[in-house]
Amino acid sequence: MDILEHIMMRRSIRSYLDIEVEEEKITQLLQASMAAPTACNNQPWEFIVVNDKEILNKLRNKLTFGKYNAPLAIVVCGNMELAKGGYENYWVQDCSAAMENILLAASGLGLGSIWIGVYPLPSVIKPVREVLNIPEYVIPLGIAYVGYTDENKEPRTQYNEKRVYNQQYATTRKHRARPKNLKHL
Amino acid sequence: MDILEHIMMRRSIRSYLDIEVEEEKITQLLQASMAAPTACNNQPWEFIVVNDKEILNKLRNKLTFGKYNAPLAIVVCGNMELAKGGYENYWVQDCSAAMENILLAASGLGLGSIWIGVYPLPSVIKPVREVLNIPEYVIPLGIAYVGYTDENKEPRTQYNEKRVYNQQYATTRKHRARPKNLKHL
């Protein structure tokens, strides 16, 4: 199967079989993740691999939108000590690319996955910090739940040609206000 | 070749052959991009496909860190009208996953690519807006330059086991200050 098929095959999986993910596959997921591009190759990321059932349950119980029964969680974090000096502008993008690589690699390894958003909501960041003992200078971006899937989802693209512009943006709506918090951009 | 190999093969390409990227491949890149996950499947993205040489040159001339000779640029944007109501917290992550999918799909299609960062620097956003006629409520996140490559780079992972923690974060440096702009997290 080629990479385009895998990209279409990656669907958010919310039900998993009670089978552990092999250590070798966990390492492959992390290798894929750290092969992502980062601004000036800064690599501001850190990863917490959680497959201890007790800690996973603690984590799940704290997450309103992350109660799925995956046997493995990989928490993708940005380390602000690594992302200093301008790179703090890019850690979210860098870690998002790393996260997407985990999800796609999972598909390639016969696994399902789902991206649980953590950053930028303090109400989600705080409990993840507490359960996983994450220090102040490290920020959890999101959690990849991974495991053997217990649901079948068809591959799909959500291609929508209305979202594509040719050569330049074209609109009759140029004068809509931009959100207040983005006035400077 | 499997998806893990493609993930490792994706390297930032800075020199391209003078060969156009076929329309069919451009569509495949966009299909791959729009197959990325987004928060609650909000899909806040829009794409500007630029392969007109004059517009590409204008764009290149304005970009200090984007002067490479790719024959195709896909500008990944977040539309703040689409990302309203809470989703404005996630558009950067959503569009970053879409961007990473373009880069990986390019590798699968025999193409090279590089991610040119635009957001969040006003000094880069502004000229991109001007050249491509992007309205205020749409923010260019980054540009994927894509083309047939004129340089050979070996596949690699940058796997670093020091960045991986088992079950919980472990550190003796818990009390480092977090950056002032992140005090609330």
pLDDT tens column, A145-156:
999 999 999 999
Calpha distance B37→B60 (Å, rounded): 30
- Is the link from the previous residue into B120 a cis peptide, with omega within 30 of 0? yes
| pLDDT tens string A64-107 | 999 999 999 999 999 999 998 889 999 999 999 999 999 999 99
| pLDDT tens string B132-143 | 999 999 999 999
What mean pLDDT do residues B10-16 have?
Answer: 98
> How far, rounded to the nearest angstrom, does the alpha carbon of residue B157 sit from its chain's CA centroid?
19
The residue among A141 and B84 whose pLDDT is bigger is A141
What mean pLDDT do residues B23-47 have?
Answer: 97
pLDDT band at residue B174 under the 50/70/90 scheme? very low
- Tell me the chain B residues in contact with residue A139 when contact means C-beta distances shorter than 8 Å: 182, 185
Nearest to B135 among A2, A52, A174 (CB): A174
Task: Give the list of residues 6+ apart from residue B2 with CB closer than 8 angstroms, or none.
Answer: A108
Calpha distance A80→A136 (Å, rounded): 9
Locate the domains of chain A by residue range.
3-154
The residue among B170 and A182 whose pLDDT is bigger is B170
- Is residue A184 pLDDT above 90, yes or no? no
* Per-residue confidence (pLDDT) for residue A3, from 0 to 100: 86
* Per-residue confidence (pLDDT) for residue B2, from 0 to 100: 84
* Per-residue confidence (pLDDT) for residue A1, from 0 to 100: 63
Give the three-state DSSP class for A128. helix
| pLDDT tens string B80-128 | 999 988 899 999 999 999 999 999 999 999 999 999 999 999 999 999 9
* Per-residue confidence (pLDDT) for residue B170, from 0 to 100: 87
Minimal-distance CA residue of chain A relative to B172: A135
Residue B162 Ramachandran class (φ > 0 left, ψ -120 to 50 alpha, else beta)? alpha
pLDDT band at residue A174 under the 50/70/90 scheme? very low
Which CATH entry fits the domain spanning A3-154: 3.40.109.10, 3.40.30.10, 1.10.1740.10, 3.40.470.10? 3.40.109.10
CA distance A5 to chain B (A): 9
What mean pLDDT do residues B59-76 have?
Answer: 97
CB B128, CB B56: distance < 8 Å: no
* Per-residue confidence (pLDDT) for residue B172, from 0 to 100: 54
- Is the link from the previous residue into A127 a cis peptide, with omega within 30 of 0? no
* Per-residue confidence (pLDDT) for residue B1, from 0 to 100: 63
Contact: B93, A96; criterion CB under 8 Å: yes
CA distance A60 to chain B (A): 14
Which residues on neighbouring strands pair with residue B78, listed in sequence order? Answer: B45, B139
Q: Tokens for A156?
A: 């799909």
- Is residue A27 pLDDT above 70, yes or no? yes
